[in-house]
């Protein structure tokens, strides 16, 4: 959900976000409280997020947050900090949490008592008094959360929800309360990997992945990594042999390439085609992007390269789209399980780039980086080039009693015409002949995808120029005819 919902929570809870997103909860921290004097915006009561399994209890101006399903309840030490930006409606029973210019609010309902499992009190977590590790309890929290919030079992498992239920019964029967972490992780691996979803994972207290259903870059480059002997560190291999050559080779097509602190790189070709290279879509990105766009404003067309991009913030993605919009437009709709459809719209920026745009995408374009082409494809001057995107948009962060964090895909994103690109990804209009960044091109200093994108951009710019010239000629001809008639 990007904003992935994770990014909303992380930003407001003052927890840093990364390309793969940090878990909402610092498992080593004890639950904390927030008071009216510190900016609490909700009156006393039990406040439940619609569709996301979060609850905030406010008593005498002090808030405590919980993660809740029909059968499980645990505390969350950071979620309550969201309430400083919520607004309560006049009836006092509904609140709207707003945080961003584009991404809609989240709705909270007030009740006088806890619903479901929290009515019996939360299960102690590893950093709380009374905690006793129970592998079955840990397993059940993850299982029940997926049952209630995973958005599309039918897209990810051949047997849909029924297959999930059968697999969880099978894996749970292999465990006992004293099962070791290794046994528990084996069960989680058996359940989550078949879902093949980028936002489905389990992390430890140090934010290291324990299970990742669809690791970033692995499906494209893992075999290449395993066949070489120079580097044993996968992350180092990504940087040295994939990311850096991609950026450096792209720079060779430019007169110069400026690299910003955020990781944004930009430049232009001798043919006056602008280029932007984005590896992530971070929160604090707007000033650098706008500055680069201003510098490229006199170019004839623009190439935006997000073919390897792990995502970041939906808000940032929609803000980027606003720089190319001449009028307001519907970017997409989103819907949590069992909740209403919410429309996400883009308003034009004060500074708008008017030229043709070619956006390079691939199966390694994920999350908020997919929100960007989902919005941009609604604009007539934008062309998508590459391969289908990764097909993973939504991330819902949750907590396990033993201090681990986990996440799942929890919102359905649809294009304005109702197309669901979950799992299959957003398709390009132009397909290059070769696959993504082949080793031969990275080692040889070439980039055939970029060459095709630049050629496409130049042709689009020329076509636009020709169209403008034709329209101008027709206008002059019309004026001339009117003059002749008048005379």
Average pLDDT of the segment spanning 124-147: 96
Strands 273-277 and 209-212: unpaired
Burial 111-148 (b: 16+ CB within 10 A, else e): eeebebbbeeebbebbbeeeeeebbebbbbbbbbbbbb
Confidence class of residue 32 from pLDDT cuts 50, 70 and 90? very low
What does the alpha-carbon distance between residue 181 and residue 168 come to, in Å, rounded to a whole number? 17
Greater pLDDT, 482 or 458 = 458
In this prediction, residue 256 has a pLDDT band, given cuts at 50, 70 and 90, of very high
Band (77; pLDDT cuts 50, 70, 90) = confident
Burial 192-219 (b: 16+ CB within 10 A, else e): beebbbbbbbbbbbeeeebbbbbebbee
d(CA 407, CA 311): 15
Lowest mean pLDDT among 26-30, 39-43, 173-177, 434-438: 26-30
**The predicted structure's pLDDT at residue 2:** 43
| Per-residue pLDDT tens digits for 313-347 | 999 999 999 999 999 999 999 999 999 999 999 99
pLDDT digits (tens, 9 = 90+) for 217-243: 988 899 999 998 888 899 999 999 999
Number of other residues whose CB lies within 10 A of the CB of residue 3: 28
Mean pLDDT, to the nearest integer, of 255-261?
Answer: 93
Whether pLDDT at 5 is above 60: no
Segments of 133-205 assigned E as strands: 201-203
pLDDT of amino acid 115: 78
The average pLDDT across 53-72 equals 90
- Which pLDDT does position 72 carry in this prediction? 95
Residues in the chain: 487
Tell me if the bond preceding 3 is cis, omega within 30° of 0.
Answer: yes
**How many Cβ atoms from other residues are within 10 Å of residue 380's Cβ?**
8
Buried b (16+ CB within 10 A) or exposed e, 52-84: bbbbbbbeeeebbbbbbbeebbbbbbbbbbbbe
Q: Which of 96-105, 352-361, 476-485 has the highest mean pLDDT?
A: 352-361
Which of 193, 239, 183 lies closest to 219 in space, CA to CA?
A: 193
**3 state DSSP class of 9:** helix
Q: What is the mean pLDDT of residues 128-148?
A: 97
C-beta separation of 257 from 267 below 8 A: yes
If phi over 0 gives left and psi between -120 and 50 gives alpha, with beta otherwise, what is residue 367?
left
Domains of the chain in start order, with CATH, are 28-124 (no CATH), 218-393+412-463 (3.90.226.10)
> What mean pLDDT, rounded, does the chain reach?
87
- Beta strand ranges found along 112-255 (DSSP E): 201-203, 209-212
Q: Which of 90-99, 277-286, 416-425, 476-485 has the lowest mean pLDDT?
A: 476-485
Q: 162 to each of 186, 342, 410, 417, how far by Cα in Å?
A: 21, 28, 18, 30
Distance CA 399, CA 401 (A): 7
């Amino acid at each position: 959900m990007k904003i992935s919902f994770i990014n909303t929570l992380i930003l407001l809870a003052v927890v840093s976000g990364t390309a793969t997103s940090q878990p909402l909860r610092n498992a080593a921290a004890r639950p904390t409280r927030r008071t009216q004097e510190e900016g609490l915006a909700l009156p006393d009561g039990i406040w439940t997020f619609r569709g996301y399994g979060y609850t905030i209890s406010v008593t005498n101006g002090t808030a405590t947050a919980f993660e809740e399903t029909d059968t499980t309840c645990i505390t969350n030490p950071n979620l309550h900090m969201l309430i400083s930006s919520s607004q309560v409606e006049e009836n006092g029973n509904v609140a709207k949490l707003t945080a961003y210019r584009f991404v809609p609010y989240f709705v909270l309902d007030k009740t006088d008592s806890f619903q479901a499992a929290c009515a019996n009190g939360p299960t102690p977590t590893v950093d709380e008094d009374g905690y006793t590790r129970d592998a079955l309890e840990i397993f059940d929290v993850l299982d029940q959360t997926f049952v209630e919030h995973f958005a599309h079992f039918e897209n990810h498992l051949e047997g849909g929800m029924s297959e999930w239920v059968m697999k969880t019964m099978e894996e749970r029967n292999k465990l006992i309360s004293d099962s070791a972490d290794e046994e528990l992780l084996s069960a989680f691996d058996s359940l989550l990997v078949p879902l093949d979803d980028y936002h489905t994972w389990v992390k430890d207290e140090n934010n290291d992945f324990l299970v990742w259903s669809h690791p970033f870059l692995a499906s494209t480059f893992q075999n290449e990594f395993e066949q070489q002997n120079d580097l044993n560190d996968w992350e180092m291999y990504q940087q040295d042999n994939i990311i850096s050559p991609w950026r450096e080779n792209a720079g060779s097509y430019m007169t110069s390439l400026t690299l910003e602190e955020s990781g944004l790189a930009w430049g232009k070709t001798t043919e006056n085609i602008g280029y932007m290279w984005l590896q992530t879509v971070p929160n604090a990105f707007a000033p650098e992007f706008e500055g680069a766009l201003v510098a490229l404003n006199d170019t004839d067309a623009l190439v935006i390269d997000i073919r390897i991009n792990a995502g970041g913030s939906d808000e940032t993605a929609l803000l980027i789209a606003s720089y190319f919009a001449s009028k307001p437009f519907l970017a997409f709709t989103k819907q949590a399980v069992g909740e209403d459809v919410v429309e996400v719209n883009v308003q034009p920026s004060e500074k708008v780039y008017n030229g043709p745009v070619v956006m390079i995408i691939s199966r390694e374009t994920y999350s908020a980086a997919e929100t960007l082409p989902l919005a941009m494809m609604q604009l007539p001057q934008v062309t998508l080039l590459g391969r289908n995107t990764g097909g993973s948009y939504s991330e819902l962060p949750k907590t396990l009693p033993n201090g681990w964090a986990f996440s799942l895909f929890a919102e359905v994103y649809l294009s304005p015409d109702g197309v669901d690109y979950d799992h299959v990804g957003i398709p390009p209009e132009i397909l290059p002949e070769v696959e993504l960044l082949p080793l031969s091109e990275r080692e040889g200093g070439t980039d055939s995808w970029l060459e095709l994108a630049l050629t496409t951009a130049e042709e689009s710019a020329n076509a636009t120029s020709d169209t403008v010239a034709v329209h101008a000629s027709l206008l002059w001809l019309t004026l001339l005819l009117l003059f002749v008639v008048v005379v």
